Amino acid sequence: MNTIKTLILLIAMITTAISADAEGTGVMKKKKRPEGRPIYCSYSVTRPAGQGKDFCEFVADKEDSITVVVCLNANSDFERQMRCEFIPIPRTKLIRLWNLLDDLKPWEFDGYEQLSEEDGAPIYRIFMEYSDGRECNARWSIRDPKPNVVKAYDAIKNFFTEWRNQF
């Protein structure tokens, strides 16, 4: 009898933990796809101790004016900042990004925050903005991030490779 009560209590505790939507726990609730198209997509890594920040942005708020911005070593105490805007970007690249984002579903990561309590860990971020006004923001440090968030970050970073490699 005690075994059954213990088992039921254990199942209830696990179910509660899985379905919790607590800020900062890394637990994500399934979110609806935005109605609009992505008009802004960026990824960044902020390194500690004055080492600066690298980021890339894809800006398509006007379909006839598509821009990619690459910035390396922003706010670095040790390296010279390198920043470049690439204009115009072919519409085919925009469509490729839209397809990539449809596959990755970054809107499901909105609000994800898994930051390490240790100082000295880099902070990774994905930020999206959609034409319907919706924004998606995810931030984490190196310790135990969700694999699907890291996969999305890596795929978005890979998308920007051709522009980053021009430095």
In tens, the pLDDT along 53-84 reads: 999 999 998 767 899 999 999 999 999 999 99
Domain residue limits, the chain: 36-164
Q: Note the pLDDT of residue 83.
A: 94
pTM score, whole prediction: 0.77
38-65 burial string, b = 16+ CB within 10 Å, else e?
A: bbebbbbbbbeeebbbbbbbbbbeeeee
Domain 36-164, architecture per CATH: 2-Layer Sandwich (3.30)
Lowest mean pLDDT among 7-21, 26-40, 141-155: 7-21
